[in-house]
Structure 1
Amino acid sequence: MGDVMAVIQAGGLGTRLAPYSTVLPKALMPLGEGTVVDNMISQFGDAGVKRVFITVSKFGPLIRSYCGDGSRWGVDIEYVVENEPLGTIGPLNALRDRLKDPFFVANSDVYTDIRLGDVIDYHAIRPAPLTVVAKRQTIDISYGVLEQESGRAKGFHEKPSQQYLVSTGIYLMEPAIFEHIPADGAFGFDQLMLAMLADGTPVNVYEHAGSWIDIGRIDDLRRAQEHAAAPLMSQT
C-alpha cells in the first residue's frame, strides 16, 4: 500500500465542550496519563505511520508546543494552519500535493482502542477510495413512542431502543479521494459521502467492535476519562 500517512483535524472550535474548550483544544483534553492526541498519535505510530499532519487554527500555538516535532511518538509532525472554517474535509486541500499514498484522516475528539493496522489490512484487500471506520451505537428513547395515521394511533412502543452504525470520525483514504473534493472552500464529510454514493463510487465500512467515545460533549469527555483511568485503577 505504500507509506501510510495521517491527518488529524484539530482546527475546530469545540463549542460543545465549553467552557473547557475556551482554554484547551479538544486534542489536548486530559485522558489517563496523557491527552486525546497522545492516544491518537500513539495508535498511528503502532500502525506504522511515520508522518502526521495536524490541522490547527486558534489553538495552533498550544498544540505545536505540546506535540512538537512528534519525535517522542516516533513520528514526524507537520502543521497546517486553517485560517477559516473548512469543514471536516476541506482542510485536506492544503495537502493535495503531499498525500500521494493512502492516508488516515481522524477527528481530534476521538478516543478508541482500535488497532489501525487492522484497518490498513482491511482496506488493502477492498479497492476503494475510502474506508470509513464505524461503530454500532444504541440510542435509547426515554418516552413512549406512538405510530399514527390520519390522527389515529396505530402502534405504541414504550421507551424503545434503536441501533445504528455510526461513523467514528476515523477514515482511511486513497489519493483518488480528491476527485470527489472541490479544490477550495468548505466541504464536510457528509457532503463527501453523499457525492460518492450518488455517483456509485465504492465506500468500504470497517466495523470496530471495541471501545469508541466521541469526546465532543462534556459528559462523553468524563466517560472517556473514566475509561482511560480504568487500567490504572485496576492495578491499585
Structure 2
Amino acid sequence: MLLDATRNMLPEQAPVLQALRILDQAQAKIALVVNAQGKLSGCVVDGDVRRGLLHGHSLETPVSQIMHRQPYVLPAHSSRQKILHAMQVLEIKQVPLVTPEGLVTGIAVHDLLLGLQHGERPNHVVVMAGGKGKRLLPITQDLPKPMVQLGGKPILEWILLRLRHYGFREFSFAINYLGHVIEDYFGDGTAFGCRIRYVREKDFLGTAGALSLLPPGDTHPLVVTNGDILSGIDFGHLVDFHAAGGRSATVCARAHRVEVPYGVIEMHAGCLQGIVEKPVYDNLISAGIYVLSPQVLARIPKDQVLDMPDLLRSLINAHHAIGVFVLEEEWVDVGRHDDLERARRNFTDPG
C-alpha cells in the first residue's frame, strides 16, 4: 500500500526538530527532504538524527546537513512484488516512489504491503459484463462471454477472485446479453465472500455508458474492468497509484509489439527514400482496466451510449489529469477464439 508523502516532506532549510516530529507522528517513519523545485534531495530516518547529534549538530541545524543524500528510491510504476523484493534484499521498511523528474508520488511501507491482501478496501468495482461476445460465437450463442469456462471456472469468477484477493468486496456487474445467467450463478455475492449488485442495461450503452446507472454517493475512486480481461495486476497498487497522484482517471496500459514481416517502403513525392526490412513497432495499448475518481461519474450522460475512450477524451479536453499505469504482469484479453485457446493452454490461476 502507498501512503501520501505530503505529510513526510520538509524543505532543505527546515530544522532537524521538524524532521523528528515527522518521524514521531507520520505512519511512514521517514522524512523526505525536497528542494525548491519540490524534487527529492534526501531523506532522514532515526539513525540519521542520532548520528547528526553525536557529531555536534543541534535540533536547529538545517536538516540538509544530516540527511542521507542518496536515498534508495523506486520508480513510481514499480509493482508490489518488485518493491517487496527490494525491501527484503536491502532490509528496509519504507521506500519513496518517484517520477523520472524526481517528484515523489508516494511512500511504500513494508507492513502495509504485506497486509494488503487481508484488509478490506472501500472502493467499488464495476465489471462490464454485458457484451454479446460475437467474436466467440457459437460458444456465446447461449452463454455470455464472461461466463465462458477457463480452468474450471467462468472468466468472471477469476476476475472476482483476483479483486477479492486484494481486499475489494463491493461489486457491480453491468449486464445485458443473457444477464440472467450471470445473476443465477453469482447471486448477491454471499457465496463468494463479497457483495454484488447488478446494473441492468435495457440497451447496449457502450464500455462506459452503464456507469451512469450506478446509484450516487460513492466517495472513493471506482475501479472499472472489462469482463473478459484476465491479469496478474495488483489492483491494490493500482488504486494507490491513482490516489497518490491526485488524478481524475487512471488507464492501465500494456506493451504491444507489432512485427511487419516485409520490407516497408519509405517514399516522398513518388520517389523511394529507403526500405526498412521487417520493422518492429512497440506501442502501449489500453488494457481495459481503469480507475475513476467519483467526480468523473457526473460527466456521463444518463442512459446514453458512451465508450471509455470518448469519456477519457472529454476529460483530456477539460484539462483533467489522467494517469497511465503500465502493466508488467500477465494479461489476456479473452475476446476471440484464438485468444481463448491460448489462455486455456497457458492459463495460471490469477489469484
TM (norm. structure 1) is 0.91
Deviation digits for residues 106-134 of structure 1 (CA, Å, limit 9, x no counterpart)? 10110111111111221121101111111
Q: Which residue of 2 aligns with 1:168?
A: 287
Equivalent in 113, 129, 142 of residue 23 of structure 1:
142
TM-align CA RMSD: 1.9
Q: Is the 8 A contact 2:213 2:302 kept in 1?
A: no
Cα distance in 1 for partners of 2:305, 2:217 equals 19
The answer to whether the aligner puts 1:107 opposite 2:107 as a matched pair is no
What is the 5 A alignment of 1:92-171? 92-171=211-290
Q: Which consecutive segments of 4 or more residues in structure 1 shift more than 6 A?
A: none
Q: Which residue of 2 aligns with 1:6?
A: 125
Cα distance in 2 for partners of 1:147, 1:68 equals 58
Q: Which residue of 2 aligns with 1:234?
A: none
One-letter code aligned to 1:14: G
TM (norm. structure 2) is 0.62
Cα distance in 2 for partners of 1:33, 1:98 equals 37
Q: Which residue of 2 aligns with 1:43?
A: 162
Question: Deviation of residue 99 (structure 1)?
Answer: 3.4
Q: Is the 8 A contact 1:7 1:54 kept in 2?
A: yes
Q: Which residue of 1 aligns with 2:104?
A: none
What is the aligned length? 231
Q: Is the 8 A contact 1:31 1:229 kept in 2?
A: no
The answer to whether the aligner puts 1:83 opposite 2:210 as a matched pair is no
Any gaps of 5 or more consecutive residues in structure 2? 4-120
Q: Which residue of 2 aligns with 1:197?
A: 316
Percent identity, aligned pairs only? 32
Query: 1:50 is paired with a residue of what secondary structure?
Result: strand
Q: Which residue of 2 aligns with 1:63?
A: 182
Cα distance in 1 for partners of 2:186, 2:214 equals 20
One-letter code aligned to 2:166: A
Query: 1:185 is paired with a residue of what secondary structure?
Result: coil
Query: 2:306 is paired with a residue of what secondary structure?
Result: coil
One-letter code aligned to 1:162: Y
One-letter code aligned to 1:13: K
Q: Is the 8 A contact 1:46 1:117 kept in 2?
A: no
Q: Is the 8 A contact 1:135 1:166 kept in 2?
A: yes
**1:217/1:182 Cα in 2 relative to 1: closer, same or farther (>3 Å)?**
same
Q: Is the 8 A contact 2:123 2:223 kept in 1?
A: yes
Any gaps of 5 or more consecutive residues in structure 1? 232-236
Question: Deviation of residue 198 (structure 1)?
Answer: 1.7
Cα distance in 1 for partners of 2:267, 2:349 equals 46
Deviation digits for residues 82-125 of structure 1 (CA, Å, limit 9, x no counterpart)? 11111111100000515332211110110111111111221121
Question: Deviation of residue 212 (structure 1)?
Answer: 0.5
Larger radius of gyration: 2
Cα distance in 2 for partners of 1:171, 1:71 equals 25
